[in-house]
Structure 1
């Protein structure tokens, strides 16, 4: 049987809604996180919405950018579609304590095979939850980002991982010899004979293609531009193939952020754009308390122990008492891997000489802080995003 792809499972508006959640969340923070996943949150908001009513429901749907019908369908559609993407893994799960009396219709609509059990004993529950997080991220994240010592009656969680090998591998080079990161970091360099670099008025964006339909995009903004604005520009560039100008249309005298040009003579005529990229390797990890961003994530009412309304979820009055995400990303010479586990804790309330031809090569150098994101190439769905503030060692 033919598998459903992500671009078939989600329409363009739904993909835009998921990406806009990522934009609103990351750019609305005082600091852009080193690594985060809006996609890890998006289906959990949908699951919560199917159990909410009135103002709580409206807030969740507005944050997710969907309606109630989509909230019921999207989590299952995502799980089914990811099976056709070899580089991706996505899992959703729920665990409930013995005192929760669920609405049968809500349970029937859950995109999971079964609801696990919470005993209330941290020594019993913690190993089960940690094993699930590790198994569903291939060992990239080993712990569920939730405090089981606190009272939890229901736990909803997602686990997302992405692994890809570069189509063109990087070589390791000596540290930067100039710029803010001079003498620091493990430096990677690669050469491309295709359009991988676009330059706009406020940023240069490099697309590093991986196998299995995964791209990682890097954006270098102006030195004075806030990280939030660079991230927003990167999300625009990821969604619009016409953003900026390709390097083949640039001339050496055009001001281009982070880009220099080099002319040399080669034995054959130049027939394709030539671009060199110099990038620091990075290995980032982050733990985020999502309730600090409750407004942008639609969790203000859901996390209010007085006003949360989940009447379609259970007979008892419940509210989101914890919302956390653990995530990591590694950009190396051979590929990229990243993962995020998101959890909502819910409680009660050599030849002969030849003629030489002129060539022109552009070099983009990421020698100061920059934004990045990983996306599913065919659908444009943003999987992981963040800000590199320091080069990796």
Structure 2
């Protein structure tokens, strides 16, 4: 039987809702993280919403950008559709302690065989949870990002990973940047494209690096004085709108973009872009309760006012909400992963002749920039972040 694709499983409005959660979260933070996944949070908000009531339910649905009917359907639809995307992996699971009596209807609504058991003994529970994180990220993240020394009666988690090889591999320059703000720093990669991969507007330049298996990684460099939140928001706009900006081949020198002319052996038949990018490996550990307002978790994490009456017989609130992420941008491809966890506690030959003139756009990412990875057919943003320092 043919598998459902992401673009078929999720409506355009649902994809926009997931992407807008990413925008709202990252742009609301004092600092844009090096790597983060709003998509890792989005299905967990839906799962929580199916167990919430009244104001807590309303806050979760508003943050997720969905209604209660969608909250019941989205996690399973998302998990099923990801199976048709070879570069992606996504899992959602829950573990309950012995003192919690879960609502059978809530359990029945969980996607797949998602329920496990917690013993309450960290020495027993930690290896099980860490193994789940490692298996579901292909070893990119080898731990569950929660503190098991604190009381956890119910744990909800998601694990997301993406791996792709570039259609056009980069060449390693075997040296740092020679000029610019990152002079004498970084491991420089270079690639030349003979297609329209670079778009510009007065405030930013956005490069699309195409991978196999329907994955793109987009890089955006903004004005030097622009805050990271603004550059990230611009990048999300560009990712969502193919009409954003204008092709670099039709532009003049702009932010991060220069042009060079050279003599080639054959006429130029397509736009040419040379991209100069640092390799990078980034890791972050995020406390999501610091972003409770942007993520719709203010009431859910309030040990007095949280309302999860449709989830368990006991009164629960979110006592921990954490995400561990990693991203690697190399000459051959891109790989990234995020594990998100919500812990709930009880309240209380002869050279050719060069006779043809070519014009090539050169985009250089030699200072801090934003990036994101997306599923190309659906436009769903998978991972996003800010590269503040060049990789060594």
Cross-structure match for 2:259: 261
Equivalent pairs counted in the alignment come to 390
CA distance in 1, matches of 2:112, 2:159: 13
TM-score normalised by L of structure 2: 0.98
Quote how far apart the aligned CAs of 1:345 are.
0.1
1:50 corresponding residue in structure 2: 50
Give secondary structure in 1 for the equivalent of 2:162: strand
Distance (whole Å) between structure 1 residues aligned to residue 125 and residue 368 of structure 2: 40
Secondary structure of the structure 2 residue equivalent to 1:163: strand
Taking structure 1 as the reference length, the TM-score comes to 0.98
Distance, in Å, in 2 between the alignment partners of 1:41 and 1:137 is 15
CA contact (8 A) 1:122 1:148 kept: yes
Structure 1: stretches of 5+ with no match in the other structure = none
- Cα distance in 2 between the residues matched to 1:152 and 1:63: 24
Q: Is the 8 A contact 1:170 1:334 kept in 2?
A: yes
Root mean square deviation, CA, Å: 0.9
Name the counterpart of 1:70.
70
Q: In the aligned structure 1, how far is the partner of 2:172 from the partner of 2:26? A: 31
* Unmatched 5+ stretches in structure 2: none
Task: Kindly state the Cα deviation for residue 10 of structure 1 after the two structures are TM-superposed.
Answer: 0.3
TM-fit CA distance, 1:181? 0.5
**What secondary structure, in the 3-state scheme, does the structure 1 residue paired with 2:110 have?**
coil
Does the aligned pair in 1 maintain the 2:92–2:114 contact within 8 Å?
no
Question: Which residue number in structure 1 is paired with residue 99 of structure 2?
Answer: 99
Matching residue of 1:301: 299
By how many angstroms is 1:255 displaced? 3.9
CA contact (8 A) 2:263 2:354 kept: no
CA contact (8 A) 1:94 1:112 kept: no
Match of 2:137 in 1: 137
Contact 2:86 2:213 in 1 (8 A): yes
Q: Is 1:238–1:380's contact at 8 Å kept on the other side of the alignment?
A: yes
Matches within 5 A, 1:185-264: 185-250=186-251, 254-264=252-262
Q: Is the 8 A contact 1:376 1:383 kept in 2?
A: yes
CA distance in 2 between partners of 1:335 and 1:377 (Å): 16
- Distance in 1 between the 2:121 and 2:134 partners? 20
Q: Aligned residue for 2:2?
A: 2
Q: How many angstroms does 1:177 deviate by?
A: 1.0
Aligned to 1:59: 59
- Cα distance between partner residues in 2 of 1:244 and 1:377: 19
Q: Counterpart of 1:21?
A: 21
Whether 2:289 is the aligned partner of 1:288: answer: no
In the alignment, the residues of structure 2 paired with residue 372 and residue 332 of structure 1 have an alpha-carbon distance, to the nearest angstrom, of 14
Please give the alpha-carbon distance, in whole angstroms, between the structure 2 residues aligned to 1:288 and 1:194. Answer: 38
Aligned to 2:377: 378
